[in-house]
Amino acid sequence: MSSIVDGHWVGPVVDQHIHLDRSNRYLSAIEEFVRVGGTGIMLVHKPGFSGALPLDKEGYRRAYSETISMADEVREKFAITVGVVIGPHPVAWERQISELGIDQASELHLESVDLALELIEQGKAHCLGEVGRPHYEVSEETWTKANENLLQIMAEAAISKVPIQLHVEDAGSQTYSEISQMAIQAGLPLSQTIRHYAPPNVSSDFTHGLACTVSVGRGSVEGLVSTYANASASWGMETDFLDDPRRPGAVLGPKTIPKRTDELCSALLADNNSNDVENLLFKMHSEWPSKLYGIEF
């Protein structure tokens, strides 16, 4: 039962992009999330940037299996909804170029996408990601190849009818415009093309119809309140929690989504009736992610 009680949201609370690492906080991070009201997560494959990246398809199979195994353990221990996002990170691809060369790295990248899509078809995962292109400056050759790879990945996701979570650079509305044009070219529905780590502007003129998961840091509630009425696509919240003690301030902590949801609820109640606010929060944390990923939040 979802409702607003004494100005507070009592209902589903979903972090749509979170990483876990067995060697770091792992289950204690989810315990913290659940303790403050979290009810569901999309667990995203975390590349082993600190160690050796996979150099063959079997390496990716082992890495994906680890993410799937952690999801099973979280479900068993906390009885929350856990969706799984698996796929080859574009930064991993860019780093593999130095060892494999751009053609072989790209071949492996696309093979690992095919493997992820197989596992999704088997019901072991629910979304392809995070895929995309490097968020930093690279050579013209690398940038061109990254976009060629991404277009092919989008086309394969379209054929498989699988949603994708995208890791892309932050160039404001221009990034959304370019990605939406690529999705249309690939035949991938914009509603299944999810920009991860999105800024807190969900208006359609900014997002160009793409779905997104907003990084809800400080000031994000104000951005959402001022733009949500003009949104044309589904959106949600994420932390991009890395579970990496070496980068404690790089992303948001596990308690953030329940906290920001409550802040958003309070801000919306200032100018809207409670039924409208309840409907929006339920769509954001249950209806939209359930439709996106094919599991019940």
Supply the pLDDT for residue 244: 86
Supply the pLDDT for residue 50: 61
Provide the percentage of residues in the chain whose pLDDT is more than 90: 92
State the CATH class of domain 10-292.
alpha beta
pLDDT digits over 97-106, tens only? 998 999 999 9
Name, in order, each residue with C-beta under 8 angstroms of 27's C-beta and a sequence gap of 6 or more. Answer: 73, 74, 77
Q: Angle, nearest 10°, between helix axes 90-100 and 102-121?
A: 140
Q: Which one-letter amino acid corresponds to residue 106?
A: S
pLDDT digits over 25-68, tens only? 999 999 999 999 999 999 999 987 666 788 899 999 999 999 99
Domain ranges of the chain: 10-292
Report yes or no on whether pTM surpasses 0.75: yes
Supply the pLDDT for residue 49: 65
Q: Which one-letter amino acid corresponds to residue 219?
A: G
Supply the pLDDT for residue 152: 98
Mean of the per-residue pLDDT values for the chain?
95
Question: Where residue 249 falls among pLDDT bands split at 50, 70, 90?
Answer: low
**Using CB atoms within 10 A of its CB, is residue 103 exposed (0-12), middle (13-18) or buried (19+)?**
exposed
